[in-house]
Amino acid sequence: MSSDKTVTIVGAGPGGLTAAISLAKNGYDVNLYEQNNDVGLRFNGDFQGLENWADEEDTLVILKRIGINTNFLCYPYNGNDGHFVGPKLQKISVKTSRPLFYLIERGSNTNSLDQGLRKQAEDLGVNFLWGQKLDSLHNQSAIVGTGPKAADAIAKGIVFETSHKNIFIGFVNNKIAPKAYAYLLVNNGKATFATCMFEDFKNENIYYTRSLSVLNSVIDINIIKPKEFGGFVNYFNEPIISKNDKILYVGENAGFQDALWGFGIKYAMLSGYYAAQSIIHELNYFELCKKQLFPKLQTSLANRWLFVHLFNTGYNIILNKIGRIEDVIPALRKHYNTSLSKRLVYKMAKRWYKTRLIDKKCMHVHCDCVWCRHGKLAH
Ligand SMILES: Cc1cc2nc3c(=O)[nH]c(=O)nc-3n(C[C@H](O)[C@H](O)[C@H](O)COP(=O)(O)OP(=O)(O)OC[C@H]3O[C@@H](n4cnc5c(N)ncnc54)[C@H](O)[C@@H]3O)c2cc1C
């Protein structure tokens, strides 16, 4: 980064915005390039979840610790606010000692996470360069948080209005969401329903139609003014986090993504924070990520491998098991934390998993484009 305390950031997603907020709070001048004319245009006002099971610390405490205010819709959902539905359409409730997740909205609406972060960055004087797609950095130092490059998993769904009370429902069933899950999130008159897929993308419409009919068979919900949306995520088995120590990749662009379920927001924000901290305190970004983020990422890939091999029979067994647990939060956390067995599974999963990276033009050895993958590997 330049010695005059000016930092360039590319991409105003949760990763880039968190980095911008941290740097601006520490007296840096930040130029943030965003290809669109607003934040959140990758999304459609759909609800997402900030997971609250992978860490000992509550997610809101983590956000506070990294200097992020919750000036956006952030609504806690406990176990008793919803349930899970298995392949046999059995309903499983879980018990939780704290919120399972915080519902947030994505997109450009006033209460979205994206707008909340934009406001915090603007209040700190971050200089937004709207409508500027930066594809090359010409040897310049920067933080790059440009989001996913490929689809390792996709989602297709609707956002709609409803008079149904607040509820969440998670569906696991390979007939409607191959190797993934479908979800319903209702909050104060608005709702999101989507099905996710980790394979067989070409049949997304079939899975979506089936998932809608499963939804209608398990809940009586009125769907008003539905609007379709879709999206994709990518994850790497080995995140690529920097190039020549000059370009620091954050968020999904670096492959920071929960390989099990696609809960990438927390990773994006934390990696943005660590990239900023590495500049502010002259720390090694790679070492920070190695300590703070890689172990969970690796475990998530091990979990993905295990999940893929469960099939519907396995989902039934697991769901019945978690329905009997006194508090599902520590049980889930245990599965997200590294252990000898998870490390062994990870080794296997690493060989098994092939990323669907498709942006071949960015594979050049001496390429200085912001998507270039010839950076520093996590290992
Ligand atoms: C349908 C769907 C549901 C999801 N649900 C959840 C969920 O419930 N929980 C969860 O934790 N995660 C969820 N995710 C994943 C989560 O949204 C992402 O992991 C997260 O947004 C990644 O943040 P990011 O900052 O890395 O990138 P992004 O949010 O993708 O932001 C990247 C930004 O960079 C900009 N940009 C890209 N290229 C350039 C360029 N060359 N120049 C300038 N600007 C550029 C883009 O316009 C964008 O604004 C979901 C994803 C999808 C698609």
- Tokens matching residue 269: 């924000």
Domain coordinates in residue numbering, the chain: 6-76+107-150+235-377, 154-232
**Structure confidence at residue 206 (pLDDT):** 95
- pTM score > 0.85 for this model? yes
- Residue pair 134/127 in contact (Cβ under 8 Å)? The answer is no
Secondary structure E strands in the chain: 6-10, 29-34, 47-51, 75-77, 82-85, 91-92, 101-105, 127-130, 142-144, 153-161, 167-171, 182-187, 190-197, 224-233, 240-243, 247-249, 376-377
Pairing of strands 182-187, 167-171: antiparallel
- Residue pair 130/38 in contact (Cβ under 8 Å)? The answer is yes
The residues facing 197 across adjacent strands are 154
Residue-by-residue DSSP string for 264-312: -HHHHHHHHHHHHHHHHTT--HHHHHHHHTHHHHHHHHHHHHHHHTTHH
- Give, for all 379 residues of the chain, the pLDDT tens digit: 555 799 999 999 999 999 999 999 999 999 999 999 999 999 999 999 999 999 999 999 999 999 999 999 999 999 999 999 999 999 999 999 999 999 999 999 999 999 999 999 999 999 999 999 988 887 788 999 999 988 889 999 999 999 999 999 999 999 999 999 999 999 999 999 999 999 888 899 999 999 999 999 999 999 999 999 999 998 887 888 888 788 999 999 999 999 999 999 999 999 999 999 999 999 999 999 999 999 999 999 999 999 999 999 999 999 999 999 999 999 999 999 999 999 999 999 998 887 765 555 554 455 665 555 545 555 3
- Give the chain's radius of gyration (CA, Å): 20
Q: Which ligand 1 atom is at minimum distance from the Cα of 133?
A: 42
Q: Which of 317, 260, 355 is nearest to 51 (CA)?
A: 260
Strand 240-243: give its sheet, edge to edge: 127-130, 29-34, 6-10, 142-144, 247-249, 240-243, 376-377
**Structure confidence at residue 4 (pLDDT):** 75
Compute the distance from residue 145 Cα to the ligand 1 centre, in Å: 9
**Structure confidence at residue 295 (pLDDT):** 94
Which residues' Cβ are closer than 6 Å to ligand 1?
A: 10-16, 33-36, 42, 48-49, 133-135, 145-147, 155, 231-233, 251-253, 257, 262-266, 268, 370
Pairing of strands 153-161, 167-171: unpaired
Compute the distance from residue 359 Cα to the ligand 1 centre, in Å: 17
Phi, psi of 221 (to 5 degrees): -130, 135
The topology under which CATH files domain 6-76+107-150+235-377 is FAD/NAD(P)-binding domain (3.50.50)
Compute the distance from residue 317 Cα to the ligand 1 centre, in Å: 33
Distance of CA 79 to the CA centre of its chain: 21
**Structure confidence at residue 1 (pLDDT):** 53
Residues 9, 11, 16: CA angle, nearest 5 degrees: 65
